[in-house]
Structures are given as structure tokens and as C-alpha cells.
Amino acid sequence: MSYHKPVLLKESIEALNINPNGMYVDATFGGGGHSLAILEKIKGGRLIAFDQDEDAQLEAGKLSHRSFTFCLANFKHLKRYLKHHGIEKADGILADLGISSHQIDTPQRGFATRFDGPLDMRMDRNTPLTAARILNEYDERELHKVLGMYGEVRNARTAAHAIVQHRATKEFTVNRELLEVLKPLAPGGKKQNIWPRYFRGCE
Ligand SMILES: C[S@@+](CC[C@H](N)C(=O)[O-])C[C@H]1O[C@@H](n2cnc3c(N)ncnc32)[C@H](O)[C@@H]1O
């Protein structure tokens, strides 16, 4: 629970209507709160859990249960993994989308605006694409799209332009630099509400 407190735990487990002999998938293991609750209801069944974060894999390692298998992978590969484990179909799939409290509360992960951390924001740290790389390498049009489409930032075009102007003199490495560039775009007291959108765009 200190890794992540699962949301709507009771409701989501009820909605799964678990058959004790069924086959279930937790697509986003995190700290395993949902997985644990599923395992408590499974008797002859099976649970396969996915997470692309190695920190979640460490948490999964603490859970020894004969009906449980953890896959360190993006759930977009779910079908392939299930096939590999000889599973034809699942009785239920749970996906608790987003980031975990552990990810957001760990300054080195770079997900939070409240820490002065590196511009990383990778869930899967085996991939090379960090937030810093996006900010330093994407062209202005791509940045506009990323911020507008994924971050739902209203002034995405202006923000993209400010980012490109800044990096012409100094590359982005830590989130403080990004926040400095964005400061003039979020005047008044709205920063707490607006800044997370820029970060979500890069996530
Ligand atoms: C909100 S947390 C899940 C918390 C979990 N339900 C629990 O009870 O602790 C989301 C988790 O999903 C993982 N995740 C997000 N997108 C993913 C993806 N496409 N493939 C695999 N894991 C993903 C994140 O790394 C994170 O650990």
C-alpha cells in the first residue's frame, strides 16, 4: 500500500465478478493492490499481471502465489504473452491506467512538478525516449502536437515555440528549466493546475 493505494478497489473487483477457476489479467500491476485482491478470490484460476516498470517488477517479486505470473512488458503485447503462456482467452482484464504514486513520488523519475528532478518520465526505463530528449529533439510542430494532443495544453503552439527558443541556447536536463520557460505562460495562481498538463504531454 505504500507503493500505491489502489483506487476503486472494492468496486473494480466486484465488477470483475471473479470466477474462482477463471483466468484474469491485471494489465497495470503497479504495487499489486488490485492483483492481490484478485488472487484472494481465485482458487483454481490464474492471474497474469503486466507492468513495464522495473520498480513494479520488484514489488511483484514479493508476491509468491502459485496462480500468479508477472510479465515485465507493455500491455500492448498482452495477446502475444498470453499465447506464450498457453492462454486462449481471459475471463476478465483490469487496467488501472496512469502513473502510480510511487512513480510520481520518486524525484528521480521526473514525473512531478514539485521536485527538481531530471526530465525523465519514462515508465519503461529500458527505452531511450526521455522527456528531455523530446524537448531537445522534437521539432516545433511535433512539440505542438504532443503538448496539445496528449497534454491538452491550450496554448500549445506558444509553449512549443518557447521551448524551441530556450533550447537554442541551452539543452533541457531538469524540470526546473522547463518550469522557468513555462512560467510566463501560466500567470497568476494557476500554475498548480496548468503545469501538470505540460508534464502529461511529455509522459
Ligand atoms: C495507477 S498504477 C496501477 C496501480 C495498481 N492497480 C495497484 O493497485 O497498485 C499504473 C501502473 O501501470 C503501469 N503502466 C502504465 N501504462 C502501461 C502500459 N502501457 N503497459 C504496462 N504497464 C503500464 C505503470 O508503470 C504503473 O505502475
pLDDT digit string, tens, across residues 86-132:
999 999 999 999 999 999 999 999 998 888 899 999 999 999 999 99
pLDDT of residue 17 exceeding 90, the answer is yes
Q: Which residues pair with 72 in a beta bridge?
A: 51
pLDDT of residue 188: 63
- The chain-wide mean pLDDT, for the chain, equals 92
Whole-number Å distance, alpha carbon 175 to ligand 1 midpoint, is 23
| Percent of the chain's residues with pLDDT above 70 | 91
pLDDT at residue 203 is higher than 60: no
For residue 7, the model assigns a pLDDT of: 87
**Per-residue confidence (pLDDT) for residue 190, from 0 to 100:** 59
Could you tell me the distance, in angstroms and rounded to a whole number, from the CA of residue 188 to the centre of ligand 1?
A: 34
Alpha helices in the chain, H assignment, sequence order: 9-16, 33-41, 54-61, 78-84, 101-105, 131-137, 140-145, 156-167, 175-182, 191-202
Ligand 1 site residues, Cβ closer than 6 angstroms = 4, 6, 28, 30-34, 50-53, 56, 74-75, 96, 98-100, 123
Distance in angstroms (rounded) separating the CA atoms of residues 78 and 152: 28
Q: What's the pTM value of the predicted model, to 2 decimals? A: 0.90
pLDDT tens digit string along 127-185?
Answer: 999 999 999 999 999 999 999 999 888 899 999 999 999 999 999 999 999 989 988 88
CA of 51 to the centre of ligand 1 (A): 6
Site to probe by mutation for ligand 1, drawn from 12, 54, 123, 127 as the one with most ligand atoms within 8 Å of Cβ, is 123
Go through the domains of the chain in sequence order and give each one's CATH number: 9-94 (3.40.50.150), 108-202 (1.10.150.170)
What's the gap in Å between 144 CA and the centre of ligand 1?
A: 27
Q: How far is the CA of 24 from the centre of ligand 1 (A)?
A: 16
User: In this predicted structure, what is the pLDDT of residue 195?
Assistant: 64
Residue 192 has pLDDT above 80, yes or no: no
Judged by DSSP in three states, 9 sits in helix
Instruction: Give the side-chain half-sphere CA count within 13 A for 14.
Output: 4
What pLDDT is recorded for position 200?
Answer: 63
Closest CA to 163 of 150, 147, 151, 186: 147
Which pLDDT belongs to residue 183? 85
pLDDT at 49 over 70: yes
pLDDT for 196 equals 67
Looking at ligand 1, which residue's alpha carbon is closest to its atom 19? 74
Which atom of ligand 1 lies at the shortest distance from residue 124's CA? 25
Which atom of ligand 1 is the closest one to the Cα of 56? Answer: 27
Residue 98 CA to residue 55 CA, distance in Å, equals 15
Give pLDDT, residue 154: 84
